[in-house]
């Protein structure tokens, strides 16, 4: 039976065949034989999630506009599709040309969350590619690369990935493809390719580094094994987002995606400096796009896709200095075409609610705010620049504006948290509910939902040295909140602490975890980020099998002097700054946002030779050598 016939047979037997069918508007299918460089964009989660990801649209557009290269997509097959693929002996195939993953020159995974790691192994396996880099030295196998937030601690999957791209991909991907092309023209072997790649700024080739451990079994040093290989791989960051490629011919998913709308990235980076937040570090510095650029990109994207909604995306869109004029102008230009503007994340203040009022003519959904902690003391510790007053003003404005449902996001298990902080969460929620009762007419519809996630220490953050709370402790805290948050109009959601525990293990892990991840995958772990599939017992059995104690990773408190498993990856922010800011955190001192004009001295701008860029043309003069 031909591969096409088999695929058709498989597609007739799965629940959502549209996930694998391709053919969407703006999908690009180039001639396979005559195109030199073939790269697959591999998203280790299901289609609906992957198609909501802006990074995919950016890289897809960038590669496909090159004459000598093509990029096709492949997503993690849902378990029903995996079953069909394995039963029929079909390899995992790309959506565009239906080619097996092994037929590509380069396979690029995006690492959005740690709990997708087993899906990477599953996709390699289904794509008929050996799992380990060391087993792929023959030139017939594709080069396997990865990038995205989790590449900032790449060690737990170092054995499976040939090269990581650290930081932003717009420029690095062309360097990667050009180098690959030159290497092939020279007819060299795979090791020579890896050496060539290691010389590119921002590319980390794990096999060229040696890790040594001390007598306690902790990482002692990570050193480059060859000349020309940098001791620290510094992240890539684009200097001017106005001048860089932006995808306006975004692929329009054929089946409904999680975020099914046009995406307009208004800025990159957030400098608020929340001390738990990894994105705030790895996407620094803040770079705003000019309103003229954005209006032009919005017009093109809407015309090329037909979407009726455009989302202004970024880590904190209400911080964009031109947000109000931008929204006004977008509304003016596109309201005749019934375009809705949406804002993904709201800062906790009345200004942000005003923006939401402007874009949301019908108050359908709830408004979400993230105070993150229940008391001012703890909010200062985490440097969340939000006061109770800000929150009350925001919700007052929201209730007056016609919203009847408010969602509040908090984190439990944050460093220094006490019982008072937990009580604070419940008190805040009740205050919000009371305010709602004073304003909202139809009391029956009034709804305050508290959503609680567990703190996970992440690499490169101020809290990278901190341990996670034990699962028992987190459960106890959740139980406390569940009891406190009973009553009419109050709702409580929480995440399983089991998943957060594994996330903590993986996010601060070293390369010895590779064996555990492979063992977990062999035991059937897939889609660990999906509660219906996640199974901690299977993971614990895997850790046990390879002789690793996961608690040592999740619950470890590091010293400032300890070598961290990701010390050779440079996010740009000085480690001394992080240590100093950690001490400030413990003392309950806040650190200002550099947007205000005062540089706190994180060291990023001098280190990367880059500057913050605001749409009005302002910049912030960085403090030089503040930590010397």
Partner 1 sequence: MPRYRMFYSKKGPARFNSHLDMVRTLERSMRRAGLPIAYSEGFNPHPRFSFAAPLPVGVEGLAEPFDVEMLEPVENNVIEEKLNAVLPDGIRVHGVATVPDNEPSLMSVLDRAKYIVHIDEEDLPFELPDSAVEDFLSLEHVEVLRKDKLRDIRPGILKIQKVQGDSGLTLNLELKAGSVINIRPEDALDALFKNAGIETDKEDFQITRTALST
Interface with partner 1, residue 21, by CB under 8 A: yes
Q: Which is nearer to partner 1, 306 or 616 (CB)?
A: 306
Interacting residue with partner 1 among 256, 434, 589, 618 (CB under 8 A): 256
Residue 271 binds to partner 1 (criterion: CB under 8 A): no
Closest CA to 343 of 334, 352, 333, 331: 352
Return the SS3 of 24.
Answer: coil
Can residue 255 be called a binding residue for partner 1 (CB under 8 A)? Answer: yes
Number of C-beta neighbours around residue 238 at 10 A: 17
Cβ pair 254, 304 in contact under 8 A: no
Q: Which stretch binds partner 1 (CB under 8 A): 21-29, 191-199, 408-416, 453-461?
A: 21-29
Asked if 546 is part of the footprint of partner 1 (rule: CB under 8 A), the reply reads no
**Contact call for residue 12 and partner 1 (CB under 8 A):** yes
Measure Cα distances from 349 to 244, 353, 521 in Å.
Answer: 32, 7, 44
User: Which helix (H) or strand (E) segment is 428 a member of?
Assistant: helix 419-439
Which segment (118-126, 301-309, 397-405, 510-518) binds partner 1 by CB under 8 A?
Answer: 301-309
Phi (first) and psi of residue 456, to 5 degrees: -120, 115
Position 11 contacts partner 1 (CB under 8 A): yes
The dihedrals phi and psi of 30, each to the nearest 5 degrees, come to: -95, 165
Stretch that binds partner 1, among 106-114, 141-149, 248-256, 441-449 (CB under 8 A): 248-256
- Name the token pair of 275: 């001390």
401 binds partner 1 (CB under 8 A): no
Which tokens belong to 551?
Answer: 């608690």
Q: First CA to last CA across the chain, in angstroms?
A: 68
Span from 4-12, 116-124, 408-416, 596-604 in contact with partner 1 (CB under 8 A): 4-12
- Please tell me whether residue 91 binds partner 1 under the rule CB under 8 A: no
How many degrees, rounded to 5, is the angle at CA 206 between CA 201 and CA 211? Answer: 120
CA distance 605 to 35: 39
Could you give the string, one character per residue 120-159, with x where binding to partner 1 holds by CB under 8 A and - elsewhere? ----------------------------------------
Query: Among candidates 155, 149, 71, 161, which has minimal Cα distance to 124?
Result: 161
Q: Does 258 bind partner 1 (CB under 8 A)?
A: no
Which lies closer to partner 1 via its Cβ, residue 337 or residue 472?
337
Q: By CB under 8 A, which span of 142-150, 173-181, 252-260, 369-377 interacts with partner 1?
A: 252-260
Binder of partner 1 out of 217, 228, 306, 588 (CB under 8 A) = 306
Beta strands in 103-208 (DSSP E): 106-110, 143-147, 163-165, 203-204
With vertex at residue 265, the alpha carbon angle to CA 280 and CA 616, rounded to the nearest 5 degrees, is 85
Instruction: Note whether 9 binds partner 1 by CB under 8 A.
Output: yes
Q: Does 1 bind partner 1 (CB under 8 A)?
A: yes
Residue 566 vs residues 36, 230, 502, 540: alpha-carbon distances, Å? 35, 14, 18, 24
- Contact track, partner 1, 41-60, x by CB under 8 A: --------------------
332 is a site residue for partner 1 (CB under 8 A): no
Tokens, residue 501: 């525990």
- With contacts defined by CB under 8 A, name the span among 167-175, 305-313, 568-576, 615-623 that binds partner 1: 305-313
Task: Select 94 or 459, whichever has its Cβ closest to partner 1.
Answer: 94
Contact (Cβ atoms closer than 8 angstroms) between residue 195 and residue 143: no
Residues of span 342-381 touching partner 1 by CB under 8 A? 362, 364
Q: What span, in angstroms and rounded, lies between the C-alpha atoms of 347 and 622? A: 25
Kindly list the residues in this chain that would bind partner 1 in the complex (CB under 8 A): 1, 5, 8-9, 11-13, 17-18, 21-25, 27, 252, 254-256, 260, 303-308, 337-338, 362, 364
């Amino acid at each position: 039976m031909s591969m096409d016939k088999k695929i058709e047979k498989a597609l007739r037997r799965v629940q959502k065949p549209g996930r694998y069918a391709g053919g969407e508007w703006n999908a690009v299918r180039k001639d396979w034989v005559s195109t030199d460089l073939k790269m697959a964009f591999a998203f280790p989660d299901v289609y609906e999630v992957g198609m909501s990801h802006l990074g995919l649209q950016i890289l897809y557009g960038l590669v496909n506009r090159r004459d000598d290269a093509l990029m096709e997509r492949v997503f993690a097959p849902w378990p029903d599709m995996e079953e069909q693929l394995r039963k029929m002996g079909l390899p995992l195939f790309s959506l565009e040309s239906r080619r097996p993953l092994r037929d590509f020159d380069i396979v690029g995974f995006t690492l959005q969350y740690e709990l997708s790691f087993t899906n990477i192994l599953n996709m390699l396996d289904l794509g008929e590619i050996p799992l380990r880099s060391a087993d792929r030295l023959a030139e017939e196998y594709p080069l396997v690369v990865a990038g995205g937030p989790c590449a900032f601690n790449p060690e737990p999957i170092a054995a499976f990935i040939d090269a990581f791209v650290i930081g932003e991909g717009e420029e690095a991907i062309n360097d990667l493809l050009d180098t690959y092309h030159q290497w092939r023209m020279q007819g060299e072997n795979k090791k020579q390719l890896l050496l060539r790649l290691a010389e590119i700024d921002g590319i980390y080739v794990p096999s060229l580094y040696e890790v040594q451990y001390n007598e306690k079994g902790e990482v002692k040093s990570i050193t480059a094994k060859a000349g020309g290989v940098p001791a620290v791989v510094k992240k890539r960051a684009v200097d001017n987002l106005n001048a860089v490629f932006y995808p306006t011919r975004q692929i329009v998913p054929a089946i409904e995606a999680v975020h099914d709308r046009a995406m307009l990235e208004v800025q990159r980076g957030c400098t608020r400096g929340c001390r738990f937040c990894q994105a705030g570090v790895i996407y620094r510095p803040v770079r705003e796009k000019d309103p003229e650029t954005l209006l032009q990109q919005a017009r093109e994207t809407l015309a090329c896709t037909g979407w009726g909604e455009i989302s202004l995306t970024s880590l904190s869109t209400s911080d964009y200095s031109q947000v109000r004029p931008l929204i006004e102008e977008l509304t003016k230009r596109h309201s005749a075409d019934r375009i809705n503007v949406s804002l993904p994340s709201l800062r906790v203040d009345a200004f942000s609610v005003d923006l939401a009022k402007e874009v949301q003519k019908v108050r359908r959904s709830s408004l979400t705010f993230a105070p993150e902690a229940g008391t001012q003391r703890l909010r200062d510790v985490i440097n969340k620049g939000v006061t109770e007053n800000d929150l009350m003003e925001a919700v007052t404005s929201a209730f007056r504006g016609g919203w009847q449902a408010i969602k509040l996001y908090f984190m439990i298990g944050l460093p220094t948290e006490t019982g008072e902080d937990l009580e604070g969460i419940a008190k805040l929620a009740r205050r919000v509910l009371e305010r709602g009762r004073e304003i909202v007419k139809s009391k029956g519809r009034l709804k305050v939902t508290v959503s609680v996630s567990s703190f996970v220490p992440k690499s490169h953050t101020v809290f990278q040295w901190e341990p996670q709370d034990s699962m028992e402790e987190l459960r106890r805290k959740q139980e406390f909140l569940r009891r406190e948050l009973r009553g009419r109009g109050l709702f409580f959601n929480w995440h399983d602490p089991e998943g957060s525990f594994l996330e903590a293990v993986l996010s601060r892990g070293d390369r010895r975890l590779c064996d555990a991840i492979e063992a977990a995958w062999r035991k059937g772990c897939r889609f660990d980020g999906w509660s219906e599939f996640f199974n901690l017992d299977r993971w614990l059995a895997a850790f046990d099998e390879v002789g690793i104690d996961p608690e040592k990773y999740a619950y470890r408190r590091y010293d400032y002097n300890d070598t961290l498993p990701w010390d050779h990856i440079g996010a740009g922010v000085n480690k001394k700054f992080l240590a100093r800011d950690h001490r400030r955190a413990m003392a309950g001192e806040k650190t200002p946002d550099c947007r205000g004009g005062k540089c706190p001295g994180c060291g990023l701008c001098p280190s990367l030779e880059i500057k913050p860029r605001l749409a009005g043309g302002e910049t912030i003069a960085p403090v030089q050598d503040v930590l010397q």
